[in-house]
Chains A and B, each alone.
Chain A
């Protein structure tokens, strides 16, 4: 079966050859955090920072930042701490990554953790992938030219659509399968068998929200408020608000009057920020949002709605007990006034992933997470960090998911 390979070289290759190459251990395999891996990733990060085309995409710069040498060193130290006297850590083998079609960089994070752990990798790139993915492949191949030979047999990226036979051939030999990309993709790929020893990580559709303490917000000076708006903008508008961790529901904690005056100032500032950054939707996105708003009014307890141009629509909710987790993206915010975190706790659902916060302390948020006792929410991070990836994602510790423990007594 011929497939279009993008990495390590753009060419048509027999899939069987690729898989044979990836499983060939005759040249030795890389240990977790081997120097060859670290130096390749650090070089890839530097190349992304330098590349004139990559410079134009903030998400690629964020990826480069996350892969810089100091960060990799930190990850290595964390890895070392996982070892005990009687356990040592080894790679799982071949990891099959199935990233979503239309997020441009998130899949690189799971790749990074996997490669650091010493695994070999094969990634499916969608034919619909955006320009950012093309840039990643190009820069990746450039870095391979000067990299250690062992790295050239480590990672393969191939482009294909939904051909099940390709997915099946790879799944049959993979030791870990990682599926990103929403409920439909997860279900469709799950129907393809993996080998009995293979483990699977799935990242289905998620929902994310944000909580702000009104009194703390009202106590800020103008400059600090503008900064809050900028942080919220980054969380909300990157990836057109369609990333699983983009906030879609904003909850103000405090008295009704406080909350509504805080909201009025905040939304005005956020709208200014949106204009300043030049965020623009096209006609189809705008139409989609108007239809979504209309449906929300019919199906959700929406009491009022404001459309601040096409970039920002805000629908005020009367309660959030059974809020539908469906969303249109593109700058649509549900808003709710709650007395405190306790009122929010009742409404958390399994689908909820990231909670960003402003005006609370980490211990308060930890207590809140404890009170949920696993009913939902996998990440609680300060406002501005919704999209900041780390090894803990969707309730997994990716680092330990990518290794096996060998017990030696």
Chain B
């Protein structure tokens, strides 16, 4: 099935076996495509999977360690075809991932994202609150994954309201004005999980604010909230109590696979969209882990044409909970993300690890 046809199918409608066949054909093609056009990818596959020709199952597909996008320039298009370069939002001193996009890949990403978002938001563009400051988008020197993510999401809303000022202070007045204007009709809230908690939820006035008509979509990881002992269910409960907001969707995604995000269903689990999938691998053997067992997440996506990111071994731990049998009516695998692989310290003479995987 062609990618364009796949886009037309209702989201989360494919039973796993049918989906596996579609993905397998597409990913085998992508594997061959990147082997032809990205010498680094070809070299890695030829050394790590010496006899590999074609995968018979998704699990047989070669995968790249996500850290390679930080240390190497992995690109399957000529320099003059690079339309946009995405970088991950690392802190100072950290190496960042570099992702090279051509026009076609960028288009596939936004088409795909649109199919996921309309599933959550409905067909119409809604008034939108961004838990970000305008400054993020104006500063082009920091055009990183965060800014790209925000820009990408803005297309699914209208009458955008940036709820934070440059000092990350909540614009309470503006928020009330926005809510008055939407007058009880649905609206869309987007932001990064930690920022929503820290800069929106924790700054809300004591008596609360009525966000009951809102649809909140948030992602970016739970690390900082875990430190504050706030789980996903706690996050939802507190929001519901204080604001009446009940439509809350967490998502999981990587800058290495923009457009292919895994959005939470009603039961709190994450679901792979039609053109993507996950595998959980035992970190010691790299063999697929049994269902229900935690392991390292590998993410598969049909989107990346311009860089070899169609099969990426992440540094996140996850669990697949089931296939096709979820209560929410969605097909395919459903899973949860447990967070980053905890960093252990190897011993040794050197204070700094020679080749620690960059954070």
Contact = CB atoms under 8 A, between A and B. Distances in A.
Interface string B302-315: 00000000000101
Interface stretch (A84-92, A163-171, A285-293): A285-293
B40 to A, nearest CB: 5
Given A292-B355, A294-B64, A327-B354, A242 B286 contact: no
Given A286-B284, A287-B315, A287-B341, A185 B355 contact: no
Contacts of B296: 283, 287
Given A102-B351, A310-B285, A329 B346 contact: yes
A288 B348 contact: no
B349 A327 contact: no
B71 A295 contact: yes
13 contacts: A130-B347, A180-B349, A181-B349, A242-B354, A283-B284, A284-B343, A284-B344, A287-B296, A290-B65, A291-B357, A298-B43, A310-B283, A328-B354
A286 B357 CA distance: 11
Contact of B348 (A240, A287, A298, A307): A240
B356 interface: yes
Interface in B328-353: 341-353
B228 interface: no
A327 B313 contact: no
Contacts of A305: 47-48
B73 to A, nearest CB: 10
Contacts of B355: 288, 291-292, 295, 326-328
Given A243-B349, A310-B285, A329 B354 contact: yes
B67 interface: yes
Contacts of A242: 346-350, 353-354
Given A281-B284, A294-B68, A184 B351 contact: yes
A294 B351 contact: no
Contacts of B93: none
Nearest to B72: A298
A206 B65 contact: no
B354 A128 contact: no
A203 interface: yes
B78 interface: no
Contacts of B47: 297, 302-305
A103 B355 CA distance: 17
Contact of B72 (A106, A282, A295): A295
Interface in A262-283: 280-283
Interface residues of A, number: 54
A301 to B, nearest CB: 11
Contacts of A228: none
Nearest to B68: A294
Interface centre among A104, A184, A205, A309 (most CB of B within 10 A): A205
Given A287-B296, A288-B357, 8 more contacts: A130-B347, A181-B350, A242-B349, A242-B354, A287-B283, A298-B40, A309-B285, A328-B355
A182 interface: yes
A104 B347 contact: yes
A203 B349 contact: yes
A243 B356 CA distance: 15
Given A284-B341, A298-B40, A309 B349 contact: no
Contacts, number: 145
Interface string A309-323: 110000000000000
Interface in B44-75: 44, 47-48, 50, 64-65, 67-68, 71-72
Given A284-B342, A310-B285, A327-B355, A294 B348 contact: no
Contact of B347 (A103, A280, A293): A103
A161 B255 CA distance: 35
A242 B346 CA distance: 7
B344 A285 contact: yes
B299 interface: no
Contacts of A128: 345
A310 B295 CA distance: 14
A205 B354 contact: yes
B350 A244 contact: yes
Nearest to B348: A242
A298 B349 contact: no
A181 B48 contact: no
A126 B345 CA distance: 14
A180 B350 CA distance: 8
B317 interface: yes
A401 B345 CA distance: 32
Nearest to B295: A283
A100 B283 contact: no
Contacts of A405: none
B71 A102 contact: no
A180 B348 CA distance: 11
A384 interface: no
A244 B283 contact: no
A298 B355 CA distance: 15
Contacts of B283: 282-283, 286-287, 310
Nearest to B314: A287
Given A181-B351, A305-B48, A297 B357 contact: no
Given A298-B72, A326-B355, A239 B348 contact: yes
Contacts of B341: 283-284, 287
Interface string A228-245: 000000000001111110
A100 B351 contact: yes
A280 B317 CA distance: 19
A100 B346 CA distance: 12
A330 interface: yes
Nearest to A104: B347
A102 B44 CA distance: 33
A168 B159 CA distance: 58
A101 interface: yes
A184 B349 CA distance: 12
A106 B350 CA distance: 12
Per CB-CB distance, the 8 closest pairs between chain A and chain B, nearest first, are: A242-B348, A182-B350, A283-B283, A310-B284, A291-B67, A244-B349, A240-B346, A291-B65
Interface centre among B283, B345, B346 (most CB of A within 10 A): B346
